[in-house]
Structure 1
């Protein structure tokens, strides 16, 4: 039985009052979740998913019908020609790396038009002669065009940056560790249209991590050639234990499959290691769970705005991913918030996160990750690089109630440390 003091009761009342103010936004999020749920069910029905598709395979995994049907279901859900859905992808970064290496060759260039990509991709891009097998080590060049101060694409800069060897145009949908708006599907559609005018034959690639099912359609439905994401984020529904997906035009997806396995083998092999049931059921649950997480982000933004903190997006703004950013301005505010999220976990709540030098990141990172799936950021989690202006990024929540509880504990912790006022 929980025993609450006056501070707890005041903050719980603040959350309940705020819920009433954002009710209309909640209803909008629920409608998106419903329609995405129907879309997923219809894809299951179209491909006659049955319980025998959940059986595992061994060895090479030849003729694994469950694996083959899962690829078809994902392709339909994302409006793509083909999809590659595998537990053999170790992370979102691995999945994105596989997609890029699949379609780029020595002498080609990768051009990101949404600024520098997420921190963990910097090592994938690499430096010439780094001997790590990075893109640069294989003679694939990279450049990026920083966003305008408004957060929009600098099309004049893009026009100047495109070269005859620019093979892939990269777009990062989510904000990553940047203080900018994530890009909506409408934004991405306009990017596709502009890129086609400047370089019609380039492959347009989208890092779709954190974005799946937050809107009614996906990037591959507005002209994107190739996209990738992680199954321990949105589409895994909190059940997939590992893995990722690549979706898009068939020739590019198959090229990525050759990179994952070997040329001539591609997507035809790969035992699914007894994971098919959780991957199917996770996809089934994903639209609802994503809507629960987005609801939690809206509540978080509304409450912290009331307390005088900057948030992005603001509570009433359109959502296109799971990420909710808070600008705290001071390290102790940020650390206290993240520790409060950890304290609300069902797993490892007794652990107190501290900043550390996490592999793949350029600054010390603090991460609240009391999750059933290690690193599963569809589950309630929060993280931040320890650098000015001390922005924390919260994402996920398998249930809205868990997000609310995490916010409450974070606020109580911050108040006890004198970091917020009544």
Structure 2
């Protein structure tokens, strides 16, 4: 990591002081969610025996089954499926898409085109015969967001027809310059859909959004949510995995895609300890707020230097991601490289754009993380395409996130005396 100049330190400290009220509000969210998680642990009488590894089929795995119930409780759901065998957030979402649609049905994306990695799952892109929804006779349609980045409720209702089985909503922005959708807005949309078609399942891609607000989408009307354990809910401790939470009938259908029809959730052992999954969930409200504070500071720091940022430092936050528009490929690459230089792992590596599977453009990623690819840890990534937006997220500690921001400022040329 480069030496941090006095000018950069002074400028960041000044920005930090301006964030004091924002940080105080975030502390209140952390306090509420920490209590919510603690009470859930106590209700389910979590004990040392729940951390023990298992093997074989995993029948009656008390650690696995209690973790399911714990997640359901915390997320305000009837049921949950929490598994180390779910390899990523995309895997969790794909299980839902495949488990909750049937041939002849229709999938409707209510928040516009989904994240890049889901395009081949749906069949928007990719070769025929890969096993996409389209290969299995599931129709796809989408409704673009309004110009100001909200769900077009009337447009969604217009596209609901007798074939619609599943409506998806992506809470976070993905690689798009738009606001994150609020849980309140998601709840309103879910209720409007159910008023028209009570039998349609509303699924929310909850990645990056867990514990950023006082409530989760399940509590406001969504039927199913899904996400990754190496993002917010794993608290930086879960080594792998994903989750699905929601109404029991839908979680059961998804479990049949994870294993097989008729077996579902009843199998699946884990040869290592379940402790990191439990401890990570307990830490998640705190670690998530460390990441959100880092993002808010980054917005104030780079916004103050004239860069467009989304969201603003004092805007409500529904996920951990901070978008910074550089408008220049070289500046974008230097920013992402600086985040890698400020990392505790592989800090000597210098990221370069590469052809990442599942993406249409080259992507650059900084991820000097203890858990490979864990975006709850300080990281940054971007497709190399105009207007060259960096997407920064994570930080196990705010102090580390702050250092990463200062490192990025130095790599971008430091601070002029007028700004210091």
The answer to whether 1:182 aligns with 2:180 is yes
1:255 aligned residue: 253
Q: Which stretch shifts more, 184-193 or 14-23? A: 184-193
After superposition, residues 200-219 of structure 1 pair within 5 angstroms as: 200-219=198-217
Deviation at 1:421, TM superposition (A): 8.0
Deviation at 1:416, TM superposition (A): 5.9
2: CA distance, partners of 1:3 / 1:228: 39
Contact 2:82-2:242 at 8 Å conserved across structures: yes
Deviation at 1:158, TM superposition (A): 1.8
2:358 aligned residue: 360
The answer to whether 1:348 aligns with 2:331 is no
Q: Which stretch shifts more, 265-274 or 376-385? A: 265-274
1:52 to 46, 49, 53: 49
Deviation at 1:198, TM superposition (A): 3.2
2:40 aligned residue: 43
1:122 aligned residue: 119
After superposition, residues 158-307 of structure 1 pair within 5 angstroms as: 158-307=156-305
1: CA distance, partners of 2:359 / 2:296: 28
- The residue matched to 1:415 in structure 2 has which SS? coil
Contact 1:167-1:203 at 8 Å conserved across structures: yes
The answer to whether 1:96 aligns with 2:93 is yes
2:132 aligned residue: 134
1:318 aligned residue: 316
Contact 1:342-1:351 at 8 Å conserved across structures: yes
Contact 1:240-1:275 at 8 Å conserved across structures: no
1:381 aligned residue: 379
Contact 2:2-2:407 at 8 Å conserved across structures: no
TM-score (norm 1): 0.96
Contact 2:8-2:414 at 8 Å conserved across structures: no
TM-score (norm 2): 0.97
Deviation at 1:4, TM superposition (A): 3.9
2:398 aligned residue: 400
Deviation at 1:102, TM superposition (A): 1.0
Contact 1:370-1:381 at 8 Å conserved across structures: yes
1: CA distance, partners of 2:414 / 2:303: 19
Contact 1:87-1:275 at 8 Å conserved across structures: no
Q: Deviations over 1:187-224 (max 9, x none)?
A: 11111122223323210000000000000110010111
| CA gap 1:3/1:385 in 2 versus in 1, 3 angstroms | closer
Deviation at 1:404, TM superposition (A): 0.5
Q: Which stretch shifts more, 183-192 or 390-399? A: 183-192
2: CA distance, partners of 1:289 / 1:168: 32
1: CA distance, partners of 2:72 / 2:154: 34
2:150 aligned residue: 152
RMSD, matched Cα = 1.7
Contact 2:409-2:415 at 8 Å conserved across structures: no
| CA gap 1:416/1:313 in 2 versus in 1, 3 angstroms | closer
1: CA distance, partners of 2:3 / 2:289: 29
Deviation at 1:397, TM superposition (A): 0.3
Contact 1:338-1:366 at 8 Å conserved across structures: yes
Contact 1:47-1:69 at 8 Å conserved across structures: yes
Contact 2:381-2:391 at 8 Å conserved across structures: yes
Structure 1 unaligned spans of 5+: none
Structure 2 unaligned spans of 5+: none
- The residue matched to 2:412 in structure 1 has which SS? helix
The answer to whether 1:68 aligns with 2:56 is no
2: CA distance, partners of 1:368 / 1:11: 22
2:24 to 3, 23, 27: 27
1: CA distance, partners of 2:254 / 2:140: 19
Deviation at 1:272, TM superposition (A): 1.9
1: CA distance, partners of 2:3 / 2:116: 40
Deviation at 1:159, TM superposition (A): 2.8
Deviation at 1:148, TM superposition (A): 1.2
Contact 1:47-1:73 at 8 Å conserved across structures: yes
Count of aligned pairs: 418
Deviation at 1:127, TM superposition (A): 5.0
Contact 1:330-1:389 at 8 Å conserved across structures: yes
2: CA distance, partners of 1:333 / 1:417: 15
